Structures are given as structure tokens and as C-alpha cells.
Amino acid sequence: MKTPSKQAYVPFVSVANMMKIVLHIGIERVMADLVQEIEADFRRWGKFDKTPRVASHSDVGVIELMPTSDGETYGFKYVNGHPSNMKKGLQTVTAFGLLASVDTGYPILLSEMTILTALRTAATSAMAAKWLAPKGARVMALIGNGAQAEFQALAFKAICGIDEVRFYDIDPAATAKCVANLQGRGIKLTACKTPEAAIEGAQIITTVTADKQLATILTDNMVGSGVHINGVGGDCPGKTELHRDILLRSSIFVEYPAQTRVEGEIQQLDADHPVTELWQVITGELAGRTSAAQVTLFDSVGFAIEDFSALRYIHSKLAETGMCEQLDIVADPDDPRDLFGMLLRSA
């Protein structure tokens, strides 16, 4: 039987190797690098194919495909969101992703993306806050202390200079987990018994809850002037975290309006409610924060270009780290027309 050629092998980054890569580079360094990669791709926004993610919804969750291409490389992510999984001892979100060459259609990377999605989500949050948060912000309230929380805290420390995080979750054990995991990382950690206590003194409010419902994590009277809200948890139809009145007095920034109007906090508003696309702020086309009293909201739902950036970043680190496996997943007959003959000769 023929030994597969080099083109037949595809680098595969397993969960074990992803963890090794991240710890080898450093968690905060990886997120700072991801911000640079995502910003660079947002600056060339026009080069990308863009479409809302393809979603298959059920009563218990959602399974989605998130594709994009810059004309040279194609990428997609498979991701689920099942809030009830926690009760079964399973992750709420799992993911994997692929990059392929547009020239040949051959895959060039297959990777786990459960960990990578947590990293890129936090990096995108901090990237948005870098452009939108009030000047000199140092305190963040983090409401919802599940699997994403520590990543958010470290991203805001690394990119925005946050040095105090005030935690709240309806489950005190989740908060205790966050505080324990983040000990010794240069952040003042305060566990709070109410969301109101967490918000006290915070210039940035991050909501990252998981329940698939039209929830009201923040009411209008909880949000004062001049804050930046990072709304992460409202990310599919019928799932929100903020009271509508907060939206009506906020300057709202989104990734891709056609997707966010269906999935984000702004699903509560009229379809023509004005929003600003984040890439326009990064390129200088439109303004971000314009006054100290302004309430800014990043209505984050996650977009395929961010995953594309993250996958390309990991791909670029494989030569340096060697932390991958080679999978034989592309058929490679001697004669490209003789796939059947290859099958027969394998016996």
C-alpha cells in the first residue's frame, strides 16, 4: 500500500496539545496576540466572505457552523451551546475548527476549539473594551462565573489594565472556583453576594451567563452613566441578559449586524435601531466612545472572522512548538482518477 504523501497529512491540534501551546506561550500573551490578529483581520473586513452562522436550534440548545474566507484561506468552526449540559457533567460549549487552502480545497489544519473559543471570546471582549471603555478603567464586574469567566478576567487585565474584578454568580461555588483559579495573577479578587454589589465601583460590566432564556441580568437602574457593558451571554435567539431600557440609552457596537440582530441583545429592538460595527471603530471610519458620560455596549455574539484569526494564529505556532499530530485524512491515490484502485490495493 502506498505511503500517503505530505499533502495527505493534516496537522491536528488536540485538546492536550492546545493546552501545551497555550501554557508554553503564556495565557495572557496568547490573548494579547489574538487581539492583534483579530484587529488585523477586522482592518481588512472587506476581504472576507461574511454570513450569519448556520444554526440548528432545539429546545435544549443549538449547533452551529461558522464559515468565512479571505480568498486565500477558508475556515469554519463547529460549535454547540447547551446550557443544560452542566447538569450532566458536560461542557455547555464545545467546538472544533478547520482551515483549508482555497487554491486546492485541501485542509491545512484541524483543531480543537473549545479552549481556543474561550480564549478568542475573551480576547475579542477585551479588544472591544480597548476601544470603548472609559479612560482609566481599572475595575470590572463579572456577572456569571462559569467556564468563560477566568479567561475574561485575564484578557481584561492583559489588554485593558484591569486590576480588580468583582465576581457574582447565582451559584456561590462558581464564584469560589474563579477566585481560587485566579489567585496570584495580579488581580484583586472580590466575591460578591449580589449583582448590585459586584457592579459597585466598576467602570466595566461583563455579563457572561449561560441560561437559554430572555433573562434580565442587568436592570436599567443598575447601570449608571459612563460605564462600558460587555454583553457576552446573549448569543442566540431567545437568549438575552440586559433589560431593553439599557439598550435604549446605550451606544451599541456589534460584530456583524445581520447576525447580532437575530442573536444578540438587540433582538429586543426594532430592526432599524442604529448600531456601529466594531471594525469601523478599529479602522477609524466611525467613532467609539465620544464622552465620559456615554454608556457603551459591546453586544458580543461571536463571529466567524474571530475564529478564523484564532485558527490562523494557532497554525502559525506549529512550526515553533511542534505541538500537533499529523492525521492521514485526505485520500492520496497514485493516479488522482483512480480512487477505486487505491481502495482495492489497500487490501
Of all residues in the chain, what percent are helix, strand and coil, respectively (each to 5)? 40, 25, 35
Fill in the DSSP letter of residue 236. Answer: B
Give CA–CA dist 259/257, Å, rounded: 5
- The answer to whether the beta carbons of residues 215 and 240 sit under 8 Å apart is yes
What is the 8-class DSSP label of residue 133?
S
Rounded Cα–Cα distance for residues 267 and 236 (Å): 9
Q: What angle do CA 59, 149, 291 make, to 5 degrees?
A: 105
Sign of CA dihedral 233, 234, 236, 238: positive
- The helix/strand count (H/E) of the chain reads as 12, 17
Pairing of strands 164-168, 139-143: parallel
Catalytic positions, written as ranges: 235
Count Cα neighbours of 176 within 13 Å in the Cβ-side half-sphere: 3
| Nearest Cα to Cα of residue 45 among 65, 70, 76 | 70
